[in-house]
Amino acid sequence: MAALIYEFLFDVYQLIDAEREHNLWLPDEDGVLREAFDHRYMSCWEWSTSVLEEVGATKPLYLPTMSKAIRRDTNGITQGPYSYPAMTLDECDVADFSEFETFDNYCYAMFTFYQLIGQTSGLSGEVNLATQSLQFLEDVASKDDTFLIEGTDCVKFKIDRFEEKVMTRWHEMDLRVFRRKDRV
């Protein structure tokens, strides 16, 4: 779980950097201006942001006209499109996310990661390694049987295994929410 969370946060940092000249700076909960990540209501980034907010890796930001009372919809998705990293990648790398280690959370995170790959790679089921962290190959792909590693430059989803392992449970889930074990 921690490795997927790291990949989501890595993606946020990459997108903030790539959009730097267009990013908004919004006040956080203490009035400090933060460079905002904007998920643009695109599902792959909405869902990954919901994971990052739940684990405390990012925090929501609001435009002055947005109500702070609006938090999440029934799927746990943040209502506003803006957030900021609340931890560095180094902090995320050593953080203990064991309280989120459930099979349902794994399925939520893998479904989200699959969406993200589909949105960012432009290749059918192939992971664009240029958009992933240097840790991805060792910490995610080599440890999960839903991936096929065809060398250091090619990783693909094993679609049959992904469907069997992740999507079977995904379709069975009554509530698709990423949450702590004690809130299950």
Query: Does this model's pTM top 0.85?
Result: yes
* For the chain, domain boundaries: 2-94, 98-183
Q: What is the mean pLDDT of each run of 10 residues along the chain (184 residues)?
A: 97 95 92 94 92 96 65 52 97 97 96 88 77 93 94 88 95 92 76
**C-alpha count within 13 angstroms, C-beta hemisphere, residue 139:** 14
pLDDT, one tens digit per residue, over 119-163 is: 876 667 788 888 899 999 999 999 999 999 987 788 999 999 999
Helix axes 43-55, 2-18, angle to 10 degrees: 120
